[in-house]
Amino acid sequence: MSTVSTDVGEGPRGRVDSGPAGGRFVGAFTSEWTKLWTIRTPYVCLLAGVIVTAVFTFYYGSIARINDKPVQPVGNASVSSVILTQFALVILAMTTVTSEYSTSSVRASLLWVPVRARVQLAKALLSALVGFVTGVVWAVLGIALAWGPFQGHAGFELSKVAYQTVAMGVYCALICVMTVGVSLALRTAAGALAVIFFVVSALPGMLVGLGDPVLLAINDYMPQTVGGYLMLGEGKAPFPDAVSLLILLVWAAAAHVAGLFVLRRRDA
């Protein structure tokens, strides 16, 4: 009688080997890492962020000197640049999801890692890691470039600089995580970018522009606003820095709940 060959073999002492471990989390993460750095988009985004950070922070320091503004923490220049540079990271994080849906290669990803929550977690962790490191690098670069133009209109307190640098990395990481969740829910680059831009930038501008006390109170809980409170760390926020961080985590978690809901209910 002939036997039928299968992909499942016996390991030592008759233990059943379930095949390659590629579907486990480490395999999923390394796969996402490889896919991200084999396309051009991440490099373009990071380069654009460096250029914008350099130009913006130098300009920020120069304007502070020319307008004779009060002495402020030198890290404020880098924090202010995030309103622009964060969208380079949004596009980078979005690409980890939407590039696969646009080419239908997501089918291969879900076959290799059938546990869909694991795919989502790998993409989120990779985006968060890149976002954190990039945010820290941009913060340091901005501080270095802004210090000269400030010419005495900025203070350098090591503990404050360290706090703002780490806080900027954390904010960038959570914006990337939120973007991954939204991208998984919408699956298209245009839709994901539009939603993120509206929630992060456009809506807060509208709320502030209208000036109603209720709308201003709502704005205090928007991602970019609460992120600004966290990064500035000047104690002027309506709540402590720990609460600011918690609010950002809630935004990121809500986006991922939506993304996972869609990922589990709809085929690739």
C-alpha–C-alpha distance, residues 252 and 90, integer Å: 13
Q: What mean pLDDT is predicted for residues 55-82?
A: 93
C-alpha–C-alpha distance, residues 87 and 63, integer Å: 24
Q: What mean pLDDT is predicted for residues 84-108?
A: 92
Q: Are 214 and 208 in contact (CB under 8 A)?
A: no
Q: What is the pLDDT of residue 116?
A: 85
Q: Would you list the DSSP string of the chain?
A: ------S-EE-GGGPEE---STTSHHHHHHHHHHHHTTSSHHHHHHHHHHHHHHHHHHHHHHHHHHTTPPPEETTHHHHHHHHHHHHHHHHHHHHHHHHHHHHTTHHHHHHHS--HHHHHHHHHHHHHHHHHHHHHHHHHHHHHHHHHHHTTSEE--HHHHHHHHHHHHHHHHHHHHHHHHHHHHH-SHHHHHHHHHIIIIIHHHHHHHH--HHHHHHHTTSHHHHHHHHHH-SS-SSS-HHHHHHHHHHHHHHHHHHHHHHHHHS--
Does residue 143 register a pLDDT over 50?
yes
pLDDT band at 16 (very low <50, low <70, confident <90, very high): very low
Choice between 204 and 267, residue whose per-residue pLDDT is larger: 204
Q: What is the pLDDT of residue 215?
A: 94
Q: What mean pLDDT is predicted for residues 86-93?
A: 97
C-alpha–C-alpha distance, residues 73 and 208, integer Å: 25
Choice between 4 and 112, residue whose per-residue pLDDT is larger: 112
Q: What mean pLDDT is predicted for residues 86-102?
A: 94
Beta strand 154-155 with 72-73 is parallel
Q: What is the pLDDT of residue 48?
A: 97
Q: What is the pLDDT of residue 145?
A: 95
Q: Are 71 and 153 in contact (CB under 8 A)?
A: yes
Choice between 95 and 114, residue whose per-residue pLDDT is larger: 95
Nearest to 256 by CA among 174, 171, 198, 167: 174
pLDDT band at 7 (very low <50, low <70, confident <90, very high): very low
pLDDT band at 22 (very low <50, low <70, confident <90, very high): very low
Question: Other C-beta atoms within 10 Å of 152: how many?
Answer: 8
pLDDT band at 110 (very low <50, low <70, confident <90, very high): confident
What percent of the chain shows pLDDT beyond 70?
Answer: 90
Does residue 137 register a pLDDT over 90?
yes
Q: What is the pLDDT of residue 3?
A: 41
Provide the residue ranges of all domains of the chain, joining segments of one domain with +. Answer: 21-265
End-to-end CA separation in angstroms for the chain: 41
Q: What mean pLDDT is predicted for residues 149-174?
A: 94
Beta strand 9-10 with 16-17 is antiparallel
Q: What mean pLDDT is predicted for residues 55-63?
A: 95
pLDDT in tens, 206-259: 999 998 999 999 999 999 999 999 999 877 678 899 999 999 999 999 999 999
Q: What mean pLDDT is predicted for residues 161-183?
A: 97
Q: What mean pLDDT is predicted for residues 125-138?
A: 97
User: Long-range contacts made by residues 229-234, C-beta under 8 angstroms, separation at least 24?
Assistant: 230/167, 230/170, 230/171, 231/79, 231/82, 231/164, 231/167, 231/168, 231/171, 232/76, 232/79, 232/164, 233/160, 233/163, 233/164, 233/167, 234/73
pTM across the whole model: 0.88
Q: What is the pLDDT of residue 85?
A: 96
Strand partners, 17: 9
Mean pLDDT (the chain, rounded)? 88
